[in-house]
Homo-oligomer: A and B are copies of this chain.
């Protein structure tokens, strides 16, 4: 029988509350984008907490903050962490829970069990949300050596600042990003809020993530003929809005019919000229389709593409499809999943397994190490909003499962 891991709920509550003060927005929101003063304050505090917890602190070339417990046998490190930036505004838990939770878990293990066999690390990743720069997974991409030499100067933020300038402003050298790359990570486990309603609907506080979904994002352009809304009979129109409406219904239906965990979202629409009394000339829109099984995801996308092309051809509309994002599915490591299951059982935390429909830093790290994730229940499935909420009890349970898993991996 493994010993219980001692996690102090009061510390979890206190640290997450303090972390939320770095970029407080409204009552319960947080607005903390990469390399801003709020972000610097959060990273500094994370480093202090590492020191207070007797972990060796290191900041890498892009500003990820690492707290390390050295391993008796050396070897590759067992790592946990998440991002400390937010959407604008976001809530208090997305990212923060996984960064702070990893530190609390690693510190608790060191305190309770002494030095681990293998190195154990907690990490606060600098950027994941793309909320200041169009550069998502900046922190985790740096760790896998995925940042190109020109990226810092050429990636321009929504405020016009390059990522290189933003780094220099806080004392980081953008020419050294490649130095953040690591080849000594033996396993990576990320704790994160679910951001969906599946755990809540099933009545679980914690979930073990079997894999992260494959995603294909496309931008579709439908071109018809702009004409007067009154003077043009229906039978002579080539109306891209009518085509868009039919296509949006059809692609959403494909995911509806396929059932969980397939999803398809039309989130963005741009109409030209977008005037009430004018039949539009052009409608552009996005389709985001996801499924954790790569084959099913591919089939879903092919069905959607065929439907779109048929509808456009029948309506005599020109259609252009452009793939704007493509993320391969990322399966969790079966060995790590087994250790998380065992840990949850020992800690007395009931868990269910589910897949992640959202993208996470973990899928970057998956390119260099075996991975898994743990989800904590989100109230009403909400995230990326100030209303985002997870209960302290669920968060502590999630940290316990994480710590129990890390214990099995590192000791």
Which residue numbers of A lie inside 8 Å of B, CB to CB? Answer: 194-198, 201, 213, 215, 217, 226-236, 239, 241-242, 244-249, 252, 255-256, 259-269, 271, 274-280, 286, 288, 290, 324, 356-359, 381-385
**A318 CB to nearest chain B CB (Å):** 17
A245: shortest Cβ distance to chain B, in Å? 4
Q: A231-B356, A239-B252, A263-B230 in contact; A324/B271 too (CB < 8 A)?
A: no
Contacts of A359 in B (CB 8 A): 230
Instruction: Please tell me if the beta carbons of B267 and A232 are within 8 angstroms of each other in the complex.
Output: no
Find out whether the CB atom of B278 lies under 8 angstroms from the CB atom of A384.
yes
C-alpha gap A346/B267 in the complex (Å): 60
Q: Which residues of B contact A265 (CB under 8 A)?
A: 229, 239, 241, 276-279
Report whether B271 and A269 are in contact in the complex, using a CB–CB cutoff of 8 Å.
yes
Q: Which B residues are in CB contact (< 8 Å) with A201?
A: 236
- Contact A230 B276, CB 8 Å, known A236-B381, A242-B252: no
* A359 closest partner in B (C-beta): B230
Specify which chain B residues have a CB less than 8 angstroms from the CB of A286 in the assembled complex: 276
* Beyond A195-B228, A230-B356, A231-B381, 9 additional pairs, beta carbon < 8 A: A197-B233, A228-B357, A231-B356, A232-B263, A234-B255, A234-B259, A234-B260, A241-B248, A265-B278
Q: A248-B242, A269-B271, A288-B277 are in contact. Are A196 and B232 (CB under 8 A)?
A: yes
B256–A234 touching, CB < 8 Å: yes
CB distance from A213 to the nearest CB of B (A): 6
Say yes or no: B228 contacts A196, CB within 8 Å: yes
On whether the beta carbons of A358 and B228 are closer than 8 Å, the reply is yes
30 contacts between A and B (CB under 8 A): A196-B230, A196-B233, A197-B233, A197-B236, A217-B277, A228-B384, A229-B263, A229-B288, A230-B290, A230-B357, A230-B358, A230-B359, A231-B357, A233-B260, A234-B260, A235-B256, A235-B259, A239-B265, A241-B267, A242-B248, A244-B248, A245-B245, A245-B246, A245-B249, A265-B276, A267-B274, A267-B275, A267-B276, A269-B274, A277-B288
Residue of B at shortest CB range from A242?
Answer: B252
A266 to B243, CA, bound (A): 11
How long is the Cα–Cα vector from A245 to B280 in the complex, in angstroms? Answer: 15
On chain B, the residues within 8 Å of A262 by CB distance are: 234
- Within the complex, what minimum Cβ distance (angstroms) separates A287 from chain B? 8
- In the complex, chain B residues whose CB is within 8 Å of the CB of A217: 276-277
Say yes or no: B245 contacts A261, CB within 8 Å: no
| A229: B residues at CB distance < 8 A | 263, 265, 267, 288, 290, 357
